Amino acid sequence: MAVSTLFAVLAVLVWKRRGVATRMDIVPAWNWGTVNFGRRSHRHVGLEAIGLMGGEIRDPSARCRGGWIASACITVFYGVSTVALLVILAPERISEMNGLAEAGDEASRVLGISWLAPVIALMVVASGMASSAAGTSTARLPFRRRADRLLPRVFSRVHPRWATPYAGILAMGGVATFLMIAIQLGDTMRAAYQELVSLM
């Protein structure tokens, strides 16, 4: 949310200083080559954990209402961020992996604020680390499957101090690490990134 808000403010400042980098069309041209359902749906990941952990959540129906609110907020944040990036940079200058950093560099250059780009980079890293918290719900998948007697007993182990299903967390971490390494073998970084997002 902080990154989206910052880019919205930067887009307004850049627009006032230099104008818009991209011609904005109210009705965009449809292009199947730019459609990526995996990436779009990834932005809403985590809501399925409510059903997965319904027995462990107090008032899960209230969490479902929260899911609708979160989905609306996510849609607004990504919409605002996309428009902000297009105000700052032309689409052909925005790469999939470094788009936020590139827009931050451009805003820093246009506005003459040298410290802005490193601050944006730190915010993007912090955002990525925070979004990895979704892994804690995913790590409960083996734990819940063991509760249904679909996996070995080891996955039902809970840490005595932190009450977390540590065996499931370690197993999912191992699978994720293997996939991250395997995806990058013999492939470009861009292709590896796209495959990783699709897997997520």
Does the pLDDT value for residue 170 go beyond 90?
no
Closest CA to 111 of 20, 8, 16, 14: 14
- Residue 172 pLDDT grade (very low, low, confident, very high; cuts 50, 70, 90): confident
Query: Is 148 in the same domain as 109?
Result: no
Domain count, the chain: 2
How confident is the prediction for the chain on average, in pLDDT?
77
User: What is the spatial distance between Cα 88 and Cα 9, in angstroms, rounded to a whole number?
Assistant: 11
Could you tell me how far CA 76 lies from the centroid of its own chain?
14
Query: Is 66 in the same domain as 115?
Result: yes
Query: Is 30 in the same domain as 122?
Result: yes
- Written in H, E and C, the secondary structure of the chain is CHHHHHHHHHHHHHHHHHCCCCCCCCCCCCCHHHCCHHHHHHCCCCCCHHHHCHHHCCCHHHHHHHHHHHHHHHHHHHHHHHHHHHHHCCHHHCCCCCHHHHHHHHHHHHHCCCCHHHHHHHHHHHHHHHHCCHHHHHCHHHHHHHHCCCCCHHHHCCCCCCCCCHHHHHHHHHHHHHHHHHHHCCCCHHHHHHHHHHHC
Total residue count of the chain as it appears in this document = 200
Domain's final residue, options 113, 133, 153: 133
Query: Is 127 in the same domain as 152?
Result: no
User: What is the spatial distance between Cα 75 and Cα 40, in angstroms, rounded to a whole number?
Assistant: 10
* Exposure b/e, 163-172, CB count within 10 A at least 16 = b: eebbbbbebb
Query: Is 120 in the same domain as 144?
Result: no
Domain interval for residue 171 = 139-200
Domain's final residue, options 77, 111, 133: 133
Domain's final residue, options 81, 108, 133: 133
Asked whether 171 and 142 are in contact (CB, 8 A), the reply is: yes
Question: What pLDDT shows up at residue 13?
Answer: 94
Query: Is 12 in the same domain as 100?
Result: yes
Question: What pLDDT shows up at residue 176?
Answer: 78
Per-residue pLDDT reduced to its tens digit, 22-59: 887 777 667 766 666 555 555 556 666 666 666 666 67
